[in-house]
Amino acid sequence: MERKRAFEFNGKRKLFGKFLLSYVLILLIPLLVGAYAYYETVQVVREDAAELNLAVLEQSEEALNRLLTEIRDIVSQLSLDSELLNAMITADASWPPQAVYKFSQLQKNELNMLSTNQLFSDLFVYLEKSEAVISANRIDKLDAQPLKIGDVPFGRWLEETIAGERMNRYLPLASVNDGRTTEDYVAYVSPLPAGMNMRTDGAVVILIKESAIARMFHRLLSEEGAFAYILNEKAEMIVSASAGGERIEPVIAEAGRDSQVRMNGKDMFITSVQSAGSGWTYVAGLPANSVFAKAEYIKRINWTIVLAVMAFGCAAALLLAYRNSKPIAELLDSIKDFAAGETGKRASAMEVIQMAVHEIITNNRSMSLTMKQQLPLLQAAFFEKLLKSGFNHEGDMRAHLAQAEVAVIWDNVAVAVIRIQHAGYMPEEEITAGKARMKRLLLHELGEGTFVHDLKGEKLAVVFSFRGPDGEVFERRVAQLRQLQEIFLDELALMTSIGVGQAYHRVMDAWSSYSEACQALEHEDPDAAQKLARYDCISRHSSHYYYPPDLELKLMNAVRAGDDVVLGRLLEHIETQNIGVRQLSPRRKKQLIAEMQGTLQKLSGQLDYLSGDDETMLDGQSGPEPGAAEEYSFARVSKQLLAVCVRIKRQKNSKFEDMLEGMKAYIGENYKDSNLSLGMLAGEFKQSESYVSIFLKEQLGVTFSEYLERLRLDEACRLLKEQTLPIGDIAIRVGYNSDKSFRRAFKRALGVQPTSYRNETIACSEK
């Protein structure tokens, strides 16, 4: 015994040692590789630190390029604004009320929307004929604008800038005073319309604070002596910034490369980059000693981290080795007898575990295969809807059937509901296990076309489908259920009750068979320990009418949806069950008709759709004509329900047609507006964007974007055939922001460029 204990102790200790050794090796390998890589990397840290300048400069370049692009877009947008161009041409220096109103509208509708960039300080539009200067906050005469550039009034500076041919350039402005503060700015002046080289009727002035641009270099200015500046294409300084705020003199540096120069007795790393788009040069400098200091600091931090990781890693290796070896040791204790009996010799831990796992897999292969064949959750959801609420349309049901990947389901279908009988409390685990065993037996015995759906509690629903109209298959399935009921009792010790609904010739009617099976299941038979009740048997002797709540709900939903096909099928089902199958007394028939009239009362909101010819009294005072049969009253209620349903259907169709024509008219009137969008259309008709999108797709067969593009391109083709306008003008006329987007859309839709289309059309007309 002592020898055995010593052996077990030594085995567990060896297992622990193997785990610990593996973790330590795993820990040491990356640490050794990391240390080697670090010593190699530390040699280039100083060079990498210098590249920080280049990274920040490139980021600043990208940000400024986006800003310059936005400025050009703003100028282009103003140049294309018809209201602004009209004000430039028609307004005069007398400023009549109409002109002032136009100025205020331009200020409200255009400038306030365009001057939203946080880098913009102000945006001015100058109209020469009216001598007006319009900004987001003010409307002034040119000579009354309070802004001053140094000692020069804004009006005189602008006239000198226009006369001095300094348009379309970025100009540094020092000591700009707006009446409250004095700051340095960068100004961009462009003629209106943009691109005009001759005398213009107006100009755009955009002011950008130099300090806002300088903030882009804040990461470079954390060290004393660091600086950064921007030169334009003529080597003129546009913006400069330094850590101490002192003035910066440009240094000679080759763009795109790093260099080290001596400035004011200090060694400086200089980095520069030149923008390919604007031609501007971005220059930054860092003190060399700060670069080296950072490299040494990184080295110390790295060693500290390495030592800390080593200490933590060793502790973690011990803990993990203990935690991971303990369950394996316990597992070995539990299966060592099995392993010794199988092999008759000593085996390693992994060999023992491998043999045990192999045996488990072998013994449970059949169970695993059965589990893989279980219906997925999607199939369960399909049968839940099929049985509980049903599908209103064949296409909808078939789509869900394909999506659920149900293997075989034929047109003739019937449903049975099985309930486990038990006296007193039955644990949930036992119910679940019993239902699982019952499922396997049902699927095995009933064969192809059978599906078992798990209901809540102690119930199972069995859906069996079969080919052909012959009722022999249905009778055979019922007989099999009787046999299975005995098997459940003998082999599983489970007493069951079964309710069977009628067979229907459409899968969509499975909900009816399920409802009938539930009713048959509740039919009382005190003499039967295990009952199997068929609805077609108990319904013939029932003294009560058939009108369950779920059927009434489906009927009301069909009326509200205007689905007269589904409603007719439901009324036919009610008539068959109550008049054709059941032997109802006259009193019960009256109760059925009264309850259906109650359904009409619940639908009273929909009765407003009926005309006077369709209306009937719902107060219970009207009845069948003298001598008429009770079926006449049922027919009359059915007729009124159908009348409500048909009228709702017509009303919805009429409403859809009116809304569709209105939307088409709105798009036809506004498709030349480049801002036309699905949101604007939805807002005009007070609907959500998603609803309008789905509605247009259903009614037109194409999306909103495709329909809009088709209108624009049809108009573009007409203009290309009949007129000689430039492609850019045609693009704007048909609603595109630029000729590039127009050309892409034209090529995508018609396969040729607009110019080629025009040339081919002209060539064909000349033949």
Greater confidence (293 vs 720) lies with 720
Say how far apart CA 672 and CA 679 lie, in whole Å: 16
Contact (Cβ atoms closer than 8 angstroms) between residue 167 and residue 191: yes
Residue 385 has pLDDT above 50, yes or no: yes
Residue 108 has pLDDT above 60, yes or no: yes
Instruction: Output the pLDDT for position 615.
Output: 43
Tokens of 308: 């800390």
Instruction: Output the pLDDT for position 41.
Output: 63
- 374 secondary structure, DSSP code: S
Instruction: Output the pLDDT for position 46.
Output: 58
Residue with tokens 């102000």: 122
Phi and psi, residue 410, nearest 5°? -90, 175
Residue with tokens 């407003």: 608
CATH value at residue 377: 3.30.70.270
Instruction: Output the pLDDT for position 184.
Output: 84
Q: Which of 66-75, 108-117, 281-290 shows the lowest mean pLDDT across its residues?
A: 108-117
Query: What range does the domain containing 572 cover?
Result: 545-640
Residue 706 has pLDDT above 80, yes or no: yes
96 part of a folded domain: yes
Say how far apart CA 751 and CA 746 lie, in whole Å: 7
Instruction: Output the pLDDT for position 3.
Output: 44
Q: What is the mean pLDDT of residues 66-76?
A: 79
Q: Tell me how many domains the chain contains.
A: 4
Tell me: the pLDDT tens digits for 164-213?
Answer: 767 777 888 888 888 788 888 888 888 887 766 555 678 888 888 888 77
Tokens of 15: 């297992």
Q: Which of 3-17, 133-147, 222-236, 424-438 shows the lowest mean pLDDT across its residues?
A: 3-17
Residue of 210, 205, 245 lying closest to 119 (CA atoms): 210
Tell me: the pLDDT tens digits for 525-582?
Answer: 655 667 888 877 776 556 677 777 777 887 788 787 777 777 787 888 787 777 777 7
Give CB contacts under 8 A, 24+ apart, made by 608-613: 609/644, 609/647, 609/648, 609/651, 610/640, 610/643, 610/644, 610/647, 611/647
Of 287, 311, 337, the one marking the end of a domain is: 287
Greater confidence (598 vs 332) lies with 598
Q: Do 567 and 626 share a structural domain?
A: yes
Q: How distant, in Å, are the alpha carbons of 254, 427, 454 from that of 424?
A: 93, 10, 22
Q: Do 549 and 535 share a structural domain?
A: no
Q: Do 378 and 521 share a structural domain?
A: yes
339 part of a folded domain: no
Residue 389 has pLDDT above 70, yes or no: no
Distance of CA 715 to the CA centre of its chain: 34
pLDDT tier, 338 (very low <50, low <70, confident <90, very high otherwise): very low
Of 287, 321, 347, the one marking the end of a domain is: 287
Amino acid at 186: V
Most confident of 111-125, 341-355, 482-496: 482-496
Tokens of 672: 């030349």
719 part of a folded domain: yes
Residue of 353, 119, 120 lying closest to 111 (CA atoms): 120
421 part of a folded domain: yes
> Around 330, how many Cα atoms within 13 Å sit in the side-chain half-sphere?
5
Instruction: Output the pLDDT for position 370.
Output: 45
Q: Do 435 and 408 share a structural domain?
A: yes
Phi and psi, residue 240, nearest 5°? -140, 150
Would you list the DSSP string of 583-649? ---HHHHHHHHHHHHHHHHHTGGGGGG--TTT----SS---PPTT--HHHHHHHHHHHHHHHHHHHH
Would you list the DSSP string of 672-683? T-TT--HHHHHH
Q: Which residues contact 584 (CB under 8 A, 6 or more apart)?
A: 543, 545, 578, 592
Say how far apart CA 268 and CA 287 lie, in whole Å: 5
Say how far apart CA 690 and CA 687 lie, in whole Å: 8
Instruction: Output the pLDDT for position 34.
Output: 61
For 183-213, b where at least 16 C-beta lie within 10 A, e where not — what string?
bebbbbbbbbbbebeeebbbbbbbbbbbebb
Q: Do 695 and 602 share a structural domain?
A: no
Greater confidence (217 vs 683) lies with 683
Q: What's 43-86 look like in SS3?
A: HHHHHHHHHHHHHHHHHHHHHHHHHHHHHHHHHHHHHHCHHHHH
Collapsing DSSP states into helix, strand and coil, what is residue 174?
A: strand
Element (H, E) at 348: none
CATH value at residue 707: 1.10.10.60
582 part of a folded domain: yes
Tell me: the pLDDT tens digits for 351-361?
Answer: 666 676 767 77
Q: Do 506 and 378 share a structural domain?
A: yes
Residue 372 has pLDDT above 70, yes or no: no
661 part of a folded domain: no
Q: Do 710 and 631 share a structural domain?
A: no
Say how far apart CA 46 and CA 297 lie, in whole Å: 11
Greater confidence (94 vs 325) lies with 94
Instruction: Output the pLDDT for position 70.
Output: 80
Q: Do 633 and 683 share a structural domain?
A: no
Tell me: the pLDDT tens digits for 584-594?
Answer: 778 888 888 88
304 part of a folded domain: no
Instruction: Output the pLDDT for position 347.
Output: 57
Tell me: the pLDDT tens digits for 589-645?
Answer: 888 888 888 888 888 765 554 444 444 444 443 444 433 444 447 888 888 888 888
Helices (H), 345-451: 349-363, 365-372, 377-388, 394-404, 428-446
Q: What is the mean pLDDT of residues 442-468?
A: 82
pLDDT tier, 392 (very low <50, low <70, confident <90, very high otherwise): low
Q: Do 490 and 564 share a structural domain?
A: no
Q: Do 448 and 475 share a structural domain?
A: yes
Phi and psi, residue 14, nearest 5°? -65, -40
Orientation of helix 472-492 relative to helix 428-446, angle to 10°: 140
Tell me: the pLDDT tens digits for 461-484?
Answer: 888 888 766 677 888 888 888 888
Tell me: the pLDDT tens digits for 738-766?
Answer: 888 888 888 888 888 888 888 888 767 66
Strand order in the sheet with 132-134: 139-141, 132-134, 120-127, 202-209, 182-192, 169-177, 148-149, 152-153
Most confident of 458-462, 465-469, 517-521: 458-462
Residue of 682, 387, 608 lying closest to 514 (CA atoms): 387
244 part of a folded domain: yes
Q: Do 549 and 536 share a structural domain?
A: no
Contact (Cβ atoms closer than 8 angstroms) between residue 129 and residue 201: yes
Say how far apart CA 98 and CA 87 lie, in whole Å: 10
Tell me: the pLDDT tens digits for 215-271?
Answer: 777 777 777 778 888 887 777 787 888 877 777 777 766 655 667 777 777 777 788
Tokens of 475: 């009778």
Tokens of 553: 């709900």
Instruction: Output the pLDDT for position 257.
Output: 63
Q: Do 617 and 530 share a structural domain?
A: no
Of 270, 287, 304, the one marking the end of a domain is: 287
